[in-house]
Copies of this chain bind each other. A is one copy, B any other.
Amino acid sequence: MGISGLQSIMEDKNIDFSLFYSSGPVPNPNVVYFSGYKGTGILVVPRKRKPFLIAPKMEFERAKKSMVKNVSSMEKKRFFDSVRETIAKSGIKAKNIGIDKSSFTLNAYSNFKKQFKKIKAKDIAVDCLKLREIKTGEEIKLLKKSCRYADKILQNLIKNFKGFRKESEAAAFLEYETKKKGLELSFSPIVASGSNGSMPHHEPSGQKIKKGFCVIDFGVKHKNYCSDITRTIYVGKPSKPEKEIYSKLLAIQNDAINQAGLNKKCSELYDFAVKSLGKYSKNFTHGLGHGVGVEIHEMPNLTLNSKDKIRDNMVFTIEPGVYFPGKLGIRIEDTVLFRGKPIALTKTSKDLLII
């Protein structure tokens, strides 16, 4: 795993060094995973030597606090130039270079090629995702703690929910509690009441919280590791059919978690949820889940066409939902660790909470 896992892939693929470019505003997740550094810069991982990091002058101090010991500073325009010089000085071959073609932009690549004219760039995007897909013991500890924080903050929100008038106030509370603890958000929290709930990625508005189902989707980052949980509560008095559909979705969510077994195809888990939804399957408009790590969405993908299989030490979400445009939405989501069996890391009660 980590750097040594990457180096062994590089061995197999005959890659001389791998290069990851974080050009901002969002840090390159591979740079975060391999080095812990979150600023702008380039991380170089040679096949047989220690990695080095090149950061702009203004980030130099911050870069030195990363897991990489060999850090130099350089102006951004000369990043690739500096990589070439350092590589040449160390006598490292520069024939086959591994890059992540899913994050490398066309313009960055053209700058890179100016310094490395004769190289062959091999795509290691999927290799890195595959490496990150299986978590180490240390990562699992961080993910568990991240989920505990998310549970705690979410429960605190629910306890105080009556005091919020607007979706944006409830979302602001989630963020405040997150930041106060020195944590980061995994993503901008979703608080989607009433008909807004039918947009899975609704942005909390300044509108009053509407009666009916209210979808709350939230997660924090603890030391770079994400958590992800969704609970749907009810504001007002649910009708019998509303209670029934909630119960149905909850049963499917629990069943889907329990269906996760070693080497099970992720597409089968997705199919299971779709089939269980019966006439509501057309109201389920997204995947069943996704891996969680330094990124909120990573491998495995629990979707229709996924080729992924469940393996030991994967961490992923199970989050079926149903959406009725202009009317309502319900989603229930846990972050789940698979280790011999599925273990939900998020533990907030899933009974329909009526407020």
Point out residues on A near B: beta carbons under 8 Å. 24-26, 38-39, 56-62, 77, 99, 101-110, 123, 125, 166, 168-169, 171-173, 175-182, 184, 187-188, 198-206, 285-286, 295-297, 305, 323, 325
Q: Complex: how many Å from CA A24 to CA B103?
A: 11
Q: Complex: how many Å from CA A55 to CA B351?
A: 33
Q: Complex: how many Å from CA A180 to CA B174?
A: 11
Measured CB to CB, the nearest residue on chain B to A196 is B61
Measured CB to CB, the nearest residue on chain B to A61 is B199
9 CB-based A-B contacts, threshold 8 Å: A58-B200, A101-B106, A105-B105, A106-B106, A168-B179, A168-B182, A172-B176, A175-B179, A182-B205
Which of A198, A200, A323 gathers most chain B CB within 10 Å?
A200
Give which listed residue, B108, B109, B168, B199, contacts A180 with CB less than 8 A. Answer: B168
Q: Is the CB of B202 within 8 A of A285?
A: no
- List residues of chain B with CB within 8 A of the CB of A297: 24-25
Give which listed residue, B61, B172, B202, B296, contacts A198 with CB less than 8 A. Answer: B61
Give which listed residue, B61, B109, B168, contacts A106 with CB less than 8 A. Answer: B109
Q: Is the CB of B188 within 8 A of A184?
A: yes
Measured CB to CB, the nearest residue on chain B to A207 is B182
Q: Complex: how many Å from CA A182 to CA B179?
A: 17
- List residues of chain B with CB within 8 A of the CB of A180: 166, 168-169, 172
Q: Complex: how many Å from CA A39 to CA B99?
A: 27
Taking the closest CB of chain B, its distance from the CB of A107, in whole angstroms, is: 5
Q: Is the CB of A285 within 8 A of B58?
A: yes
Measured CB to CB, the nearest residue on chain B to A125 is B107
Measured CB to CB, the nearest residue on chain B to A108 is B102
Q: Complex: how many Å from CA A202 to CA B296?
A: 23
Give which listed residue, B171, B285, B286, B323, contacts A179 with CB less than 8 A. Answer: B171
- List residues of chain B with CB within 8 A of the CB of A106: 99, 101-102, 104-106, 109, 123
Q: Is the CB of B184 within 8 A of A206?
A: no
Q: Is the CB of B201 within 8 A of A59?
A: yes
Q: Complex: how many Å from CA A109 to CA B173?
A: 40
Which of A108, A109, A201, A325 gathers most chain B CB within 10 Å?
A201
